[in-house]
Structure 1
Amino acid sequence: MKITGILLLTGILLKIPVVTLAAEMIEVVTESWEPYSYLLPDGSVGGMATDKVRRILDKTGFEYSIRLYPWARAYRTALNKKNVLIYSIYRTKEREAKFQWLCPFLPTEPIYAHALSSRDDINVSTLGDMKKYLIGIAREEYVYQYLVEQGFKDRLHTDTTPTYDISLLKLVNNRVNLIIGTGHSIEKD
């Protein structure tokens, strides 16, 4: 099952004059989603998306800090605070007016439903087929919001977690039947 979207860099920089922004720290938020963003052994945030964000922001001269949060917290922070930039986020019709979209910086990545290879009893050909299984998914992420719009119910069809990594652990321990991720995110793990 493939669900597509566009992975984009976004910032909430609305109504902030550049002069004001230059004097204030930009809070950059993201989630742990390997290989795009993850915690390095030294406590800093790294990953292929993080590296691009750093290169862009370093050229601006703005002061910034990058923080790794569970997705729901990163998203809520970006919605409710000023001088916040959030990445990696899918651009959707519902999110369009909530952010000032800066630029796409990673190619579109298809999103797939993944099951353990030992689970030959799981067969998904359509979105409706996924309702037969418990799906581990990070709270408030794009695919979670999409599944809710399609009639999926928490606890019946979805098991929401703070992070993708927790959903992956639940899959490995047979506590969920499926997880949702890109080819890159599942290959890394």
Structure 2
Amino acid sequence: MRPRLMIVLLGCCLRALPAIAQTEPEIHALTEALPPLSYDENGAHKGFSNELLQMMLHDSGLRAAIQVKPWSRALREAQQVPNTMLYLAVRTPEREEMFKWVGPALPLAIELFRLGGPRALPYTSLDDARRAVVAVARDTPGQKMMERQGFVDNQNLMLTNDEAQSARLLYAHRVQFSVGVGLFQRYAARQQGQNPERLDSVQVLDDSTRFYFAMQKDSNPDYVARLQAALDKIKQDGRYAALLKRYNHP
């Protein structure tokens, strides 16, 4: 009886293999911990970009396996394997040929910040920042902007791991300015027990910044087209506007 039972069980397992293979997700999605866009809470992926991605996957009929990694590592890995998605990523001329782009998903300005209040540092131009130290997240468009303006790492530029660290250094007075996105840095300040209203924007460095879902350049074009169509539909039927409103983004 036992050999026959084992044969029957083995046959059942073999018949189930195609079904298991079919459940493999089509997309390997990489993101960073960047609240309120993307963060993990009790094992669940939360935040604006994760909610938007889930809507797009539902409407497109695609599935994704999501991993949270440091931004620099995610950026490197997303360029290597087809059907890998990096989100959300700023679309820049330097990155244009690296990916196929789905979006735009979110418009966000890149700004230069100081701590406001009675003791706020005077600011009239970037020359004031050049004589100070500016924190900016590594491997971001903000870093490229500052370097093009003549800022140098370990001199008047301090590279950080993410926007939250930039905000932490600014509130701790270890730097005099920070570069990044107000939505991210104000959220980080609030999470760190600081008053986000003290974050004072002194100059908009780029107000044309657009965040996208970036697919590795050799990814299946059908997947890219289905995701773009899903995003377009979400924008048209009101779900996108409702999501922006829920995250207090104009």
TM-score under structure 2 length normalisation = 0.59
**Correspondence for 2:136:** 137
Identity, in percent, stands at: 27
Q: Does 1:34 align with 2:35?
A: yes
| 1:54-73 superposed matches below 5 A | 54-73=54-73
One-letter amino acid of the counterpart of residue 54, structure 1: Q
Mapped to 2, the partners of 1:134 and 1:119 lie a distance apart of: 20
Give structure 1 stretches of 5+ with no counterpart: 1-21
TM-score under structure 1 length normalisation = 0.77
Mapped to 1, the partners of 2:51 and 2:44 lie a distance apart of: 12
Could you say which structure has the larger radius of gyration? 2
Which shows bigger deviation, 114-123 or 68-77? Answer: 114-123
Question: What SS does the corresponding residue of 1:115 show, helix, strand or coil?
Answer: strand
Instruction: Write the deviation string for residues 91-131 of structure 1: whole angstroms up to 9, x where unpaired.
Output: 1111111111122122x222222222357352333334321
| 1:107-126 superposed matches below 5 A | 108-118=107-117, 120-126=119-125
Question: What SS does the corresponding residue of 2:79 show, helix, strand or coil?
Answer: helix
Question: What SS does the corresponding residue of 1:151 show, helix, strand or coil?
Answer: coil
1:135 and 1:157 in contact (8 A); partners too: yes
Change (3 A) 1:39 1:123: farther
Instruction: Write the deviation string for residues 58-104 of structure 1: whole angstroms up to 9, x where unpaired.
Output: 33333312222222122112123332111121111111111111221
Give the aligned length: 166
One-letter amino acid of the counterpart of residue 52, structure 1: L
Question: What SS does the corresponding residue of 1:34 show, helix, strand or coil?
Answer: coil
| 1:76-155 superposed matches below 5 A | 76-106=76-106, 108-118=107-117, 120-155=119-154
Instruction: Write the deviation string for residues 5-59 of structure 1: whole angstroms up to 9, x where unpaired.
Output: xxxxxxxxxxxxxxxxx9654221222222211222x133211122101210233
CA RMSD of aligned residues (A): 2.2
2:164 and 2:185 in contact (8 A); partners too: no
Q: Does 1:186 align with 2:185?
A: yes
Mapped to 2, the partners of 1:119 and 1:139 lie a distance apart of: 31
Mapped to 1, the partners of 2:66 and 2:102 lie a distance apart of: 17
One-letter amino acid of the counterpart of residue 75, structure 1: L
Question: What SS does the corresponding residue of 1:105 show, helix, strand or coil?
Answer: strand
Change (3 A) 1:36 1:24: closer
Question: What SS does the corresponding residue of 2:115 show, helix, strand or coil?
Answer: coil
Mapped to 2, the partners of 1:167 and 1:101 lie a distance apart of: 28
Mapped to 2, the partners of 1:123 and 1:166 lie a distance apart of: 23
One-letter amino acid of the counterpart of residue 141, structure 2: Y
1:45 and 1:67 in contact (8 A); partners too: no
One-letter amino acid of the counterpart of residue 112, structure 1: E
